[in-house]
Chains A and B, each alone.
Chain A
Amino acid sequence: MNESQSESELDWVLVLAPFRRDADYIAAFLREQKIGVVAAKVDDDLSHHLVSDPAIIVVTNEALDPNTVAKIAEHLSTQPDWSEVPIIILLERSAPLAAIRSRLQSSWPGSRLLFHMRPIAPLELVNVLQSNLLVRLRQRQVRDAFERERELRLELNHRVKNILASVTSIFQMTRRGAATVDDLAREFTGRLVALSNVHTAVFEAGGEEISLLSIVSLTVAPYNSNGLNRIDFNGPDLAVTREAGTMLALCLHELTTNAIKYGALSLADGKVKVSWTIAGSNEPVFSIDWTESDGPPVRQPTRQGYGTRYVRSALGSLLGTAPTMTFAASGFQCSAKGPASRLIAYSKSV
């Protein structure tokens, strides 16, 4: 007997017809109609087949001995909420329909009982099975939708908690460095806006990855408006992960903020160049450089602010090696490099 290869996806029919060769006859006919089918012996392998979840059970009245009724009842009792197993009962014209119906309804709660008189026209049987296979397909789709919704709710909860934790941390860190309440409000808002912008960009890009070029242009856009070009950037476009994109955007925000407060962007002629590369073909290395020029005389700060600490930690975590920060006479520089595989989505470029 050809046990259908698809005997698991709730898309096959289990036939229980012990009388003569009824089962084989029905099975052969259904196979001709491309309906997956298993004709089972009532005594030995019924439980084994039920475990494989038939979409529909076809049963003749000779098969309805107490043992078989009990085995099917047990199978029905383990069905999840979304599953309503259609059971097609083929009865002799002389069979006591009312008595059989009431017995099966009490033995098999939660099933869909469909009674047909024998001999059933082949076309009628095929129609009944096709429409019930469709019912089962819809039930599976409902199950999958419930499952997806459950996963999304868990993921949403996880993300919201992470975002709240990030916002709490940003607040605590900003408060430490702020001299006045106004400073605190301005810096905190600036950081939240940067976080919000990158969130929007990732969401619009589909939620899981984002183009590095769009992250950089988004972050520096406010400084390149009105015909000014204060922050020059170039590098190959790459699809980076959501986490990498968020960290890089926040790093650029902090570097920009520092450049405005203390560095090149504090003077009208000061400039910044951001460039990044991918080199090597076997295990490509990503490197990114932030270089300031034409700014005020460079001084090494006495105390490391939040921005600098964040950039150090974030780039260190992202690339596996802490970045190098140089307070060169020509301008502040920050360089970082590490395996490109740590930030690239699906290890390939756009």
Chain B
Amino acid sequence: MSDIGAAVLVVEDEVLVRLAIVTSLEDEGFTVFEASDADAAIEILNVHTEIRLMFTDIDMPGSMDGLKLAAAVRDRWPPVKIIVTSGHHDLSDEVLPVEGRFFSKPYDHSRVISTVREMVAAV
């Protein structure tokens, strides 16, 4: 499958931070959906089955944080690739509770984008 126009979902409660990574991904040709919390993310995933990757922050208000959201997505949408990010938690790919990649904040957009491209291409 080609990654041109591949659909990705960005979940981040800080508007400015979300906007920056969303526009960077759009510049690279991805179709980007945005959510500011886990509940909104799940609503979007229910409707847009074309989404192939979720990029989520851990520290968000609401019923679920990003790690719980990642676990729910792994459970309900197994093919969706997962990238998790946080400015507080110090995690690594190995200790993530779900299969996926971890970026600590602040992250380098070009590294995130090349990882997204790799993960989406591996489907």
Which A residues contact B (CB, under 8 angstroms)? 158, 161-162, 164-166, 168-170, 172-173, 176, 247, 306, 309-310, 313-314, 316-317
Q: Looking at chain A's contact residues, is the secondary structure mostly helix, strand, loop, or mixed?
A: helix
Once bound together, how far apart are the Cα atoms of A93 and B70, in whole Å? 72
Chain A residues, Cβ within 8 Å of B14 = 162, 165-166
Cβ of B20: which chain A residues have Cβ within 8 Å of it? 168-169, 172-173
Known interface pairs A162-B14, A172-B24. Does A313 touch B106 (Cβ–Cβ under 8 Å)? no
> A169 to B13, Cβ gap below 8 A?
no
Decide: B15 and A314 in contact? CB cutoff 8 A: yes
B23 within 8 A of A: yes
Number of interchain pairs (Cβ within 8 Å)? 49
Q: Are B23 and A168 in contact (CB under 8 A)?
A: no
Does the CB pair B106–A310 fall under 8 Å?
no
Closest to A316 in B: B36
Interface membership of B105, Cβ < 8 A: yes
- In the complex, chain A residues whose CB is within 8 Å of the CB of B23: 172-173, 176, 306, 309
Closest Cβ–Cβ distance, residue B31 to chain A (whole Å)? 15
For the complex formed, measure the closest distance between the CB of A173 and the CB atoms of chain B, giving whole angstroms: 6
Chain B min CB distance to A166 (Å): 5
Residues of B within 8 A of A (CB): 13-20, 23-24, 27, 34, 36, 87-88, 105-106, 109
Contacts of B36 in A (CB 8 A): 316-317
Q: Provided the pairs A173-B19, A309-B23, A313-B19 are in contact, do residues A161 and B13 lie with their beta carbons within 8 angstroms? A: no
A336 to chain B, nearest CB (A): 14
From known contacts A313-B15, A317-B15, infer whether A165 and B106 are also in contact, taking CB-CB under 8 Å: yes
Contact among A168, A170, A176, A306 with B106 in the assembled complex (CB-CB below 8 Å): A168
Residues of chain B contacted by A158 (CB below 8 angstroms):
88
Which residue from chain A places its CB closest to the CB of B59 in the assembled complex?
A: A158
> In the bound complex, how far is the Cα of B36 from the Cα of A310, in angstroms?
13
Given contacts A164-B106, A176-B23, are A169 and B87 in contact (CB under 8 A)? no
A-B contact pairs, 14 of them (CB 8 A): A161-B105, A162-B14, A165-B14, A165-B16, A169-B20, A173-B16, A176-B23, A176-B27, A309-B19, A309-B23, A310-B15, A310-B16, A317-B15, A317-B36
Alpha-carbon gap, A316 to B88, bound state (A): 26
Please indicate the chain A residues that have their CB under 8 angstroms from the CB of B109 in the complex: 172
Give the residues in chain B near A172, CB-CB below 8 Å.
20, 23-24, 109
* Contact A165/B15 with A176-B23, A313-B34 known, Cβ cut-off 8 Å: no
A169–B18 CA distance with the chains assembled, in angstroms = 9
Cα–Cα distance between A173 and B105 once the two chains are bound (Å) = 17
- Determine how close the nearest CB of chain A comes to the CB of B41; give it in whole angstroms: 13
Q: Output the nearest chain B residue to A317 by Cβ-Cβ distance.
A: B36
